[in-house]
Amino acid sequence: MIVAAWPWLALILLGAWHGLNPGMGWLFSVALGLQQRSRKAVFMALAPIALGHALAIGLIVLLVYGIGAVIPFRWLQIGGAGALFALAFWKLWRARHPPWVGMCVSFWDLTLWSWLMASAHGAGLMVVPVLLGAKSVFCGTVPFGANLLLSVQPFVAAAAVGVHTISHLAISGLIAWIVYDFIGLAVLRRSWINLDLIWAFSLLGAGVVLFFAPLA
C-alpha cells in the first residue's frame, strides 16, 4: 500500500512546493488584487495560473513517455537528470526575483504567463523522477527498457497532473489570501526570502535522485 501511495504523495508535496514559489503565481495574483482592490481578483487570477501550471506539467509528462518510446530507459534517466542539473546551475548563476510584467492581462494572457514561468523554473522537470521511479504505477507493469509510450495509462497520467495541480492551487491560494489580507507586499519587499536559491538546490536534489536512484 505504501509502495503504491508514494508517487501520489510525492506529486502532492511537489505541488505544494511549487505553489509556495512566488515566481509561479501567488505573488502576481496578490498584485492584481491590490491593483483592483479586490479579494475576488486575487482568487480569480489563480484559475488561469493553475491552468498554465498544469499545461507545463502535462507537456513534460507527454515528452517523457513520447521520448521513452524511442530511446533506452537509462538514457531517459540520464537526460532528465542532465536537464535538471543544467537548469539548477543556470538559476544559481542568474538568481534574481520573479519578473514583473504588465498588470492588464486577460485569462489567456495569465495562463500563458503561468505556463512560461512554470516551464522556465523547471517545474515539470522536477516531476520526472516521480514519473520514472513509479512507471509501474503510471504505465502498468512494464519490464525494464520497455516502450513506455505504448504502455502508458492516459487516465492515470492525467490524474497525476490533476493531483499535482490541485495541490499547487491550494497552497498558492492559501498564501495569496494570507499575504493579501494580513501581510501585504510592503512587508515582502523589506524581508524577502531568496526562494530562487532554495529552488535551484531543489532542482539539483531532483537531478541527483533521478541520476542515482535505482528506478528500474
H helices of 21-96, where?
26-36, 39-67, 73-93
Cα dihedral: 148, 150, 154, 157 (round 10): 0
Rounded Cα distance, 192 and 5, in Å: 35
What is the tens place of the pLDDT at every residue in 168-209?
A: 999 999 999 999 988 876 656 655 566 677 888 888 999 888
**pLDDT at residue 139, as a whole number:** 58
Rounded Cα distance, 144 and 74, in Å: 9
**pLDDT at residue 71, as a whole number:** 80
Q: Is pLDDT at 149 greater than 50 in this prediction?
A: no
What is the tens place of the pLDDT at every residue in 74-131?
A: 888 889 899 999 988 887 776 555 454 455 678 888 899 899 889 888 899 999 888 8
How many C-beta atoms surround the C-beta of residue 18 within 10 A? 29
pTM score: 0.82
**pLDDT at residue 74, as a whole number:** 81
What is the tens place of the pLDDT at every residue in 3-51?
A: 468 889 999 999 999 999 888 889 889 988 888 888 999 999 999 999 9
**pLDDT at residue 50, as a whole number:** 95
**pLDDT at residue 31, as a whole number:** 85
Q: Are 64 and 128 in contact (CB under 8 A)?
A: yes
Rounded Cα distance, 205 and 93, in Å: 17
Distances (CA, A) of 213 to 59, 145, 181, 199, 208: 24, 16, 43, 21, 8
How many C-beta atoms surround the C-beta of residue 170 within 10 A? 16
Q: Is pLDDT at 2 greater than 50 in this prediction?
A: no
